[in-house]
Amino acid sequence: MNILFFQILAIVGLAAAIVGLTLRVRATNRRTLPVDRSPVKGDPNKGLAYAFTLGMMPWAKESTRIHAVAYVRGIGFHVGIFAGLGALLISPFWDLLPAFLRTVLAIGLGLGALLGAAGGVMRIAERHLRQISTADDHFAVWLVTAFLTVAALAVWNAAFVVPMYLVAALMLFYIPLGKIRHCIYFFFSRRFFGKFVGRRGVLPHPERIEVGGVK
């Protein structure tokens, strides 16, 4: 079957993902947030700026300070995902890329796949992660890992291009339905966090806090 069919299938999957995520964004925006009746002590805009910059650094959160390796793995996995989506979009023009860039792209996608697989194994092997992981969690991680794997292989060998489009189409259709849709909820949560802490003037943390007259 002509490769054009599988390219169109991937495009349809992309359209479905965009439409599905757009509907979820609109539905979320229609929800009423609780009114914060606390006195205004700071600037919500400063809180927003912090939430989307320094507030995402590993030293800003206890969980990432304690689990630095897991943090780096997650960052690498997500960088690989963005690289994979970019590679998918330009896939009809891969032949125009210099051999060096194609090699770098393939290695980057392969590394992203390895980091994704590591995350999948951690959800199975680590007791606490296993207890909180749902079927959706496992499926989403391994689906994205499969996409990055076939994308890396496709850059090296054209025989894997069709499997890449098939897995990509499945992943794109699944994005608005499963856990992968957290890509939009991330922005809602950071916005809520930033406005909350900005309004209350609690971030960035002061060097010393006075409690009961004692610093």
Per DSSP, 207 falls in state S
| pLDDT at residue 207, as a whole number | 52
Residue 171 structural domain: 3-31+39-200
**Residue 215's pLDDT band (cuts 50, 70, 90):** very low
CATH number at residue 161: 1.20.950.20
Contact call for residues 58 and 71 (beta carbons, < 8 A): yes
Name residue 211's beta-bridge partners: 214
For residue 171, tell me if it sits in a domain: yes
C-alpha 47/C-alpha 196 separation (Å) is 7
Q: What is the pLDDT of residues 32-90, one digit of tens each?
A: 877 878 888 888 888 888 888 888 887 777 777 777 888 889 999 999 999 999 999 99
For residue 207, tell me if it sits in a domain: no
Distances 167 to 40, 43, 46, 131, 146 between C-alpha atoms, Å? 49, 45, 41, 28, 7
pTM of the predicted structure, to 2 decimals: 0.84
Burial track 34-58 (b if 16+ CB lie within 10 A, e otherwise)? eeeeeeeeeebebbbebbeeebeee
Domain count along the chain: 1
In degrees, rounded to 5, the angle at the alpha carbon of residue 126 between the alpha carbons of residues 67 and 54 is 25
At residue 162, the 3 state secondary structure works out as helix
Burial track 191-210 (b if 16+ CB lie within 10 A, e otherwise)? eebbbbbbbbeebeeeeeee
For residue 21, tell me if it sits in a domain: yes
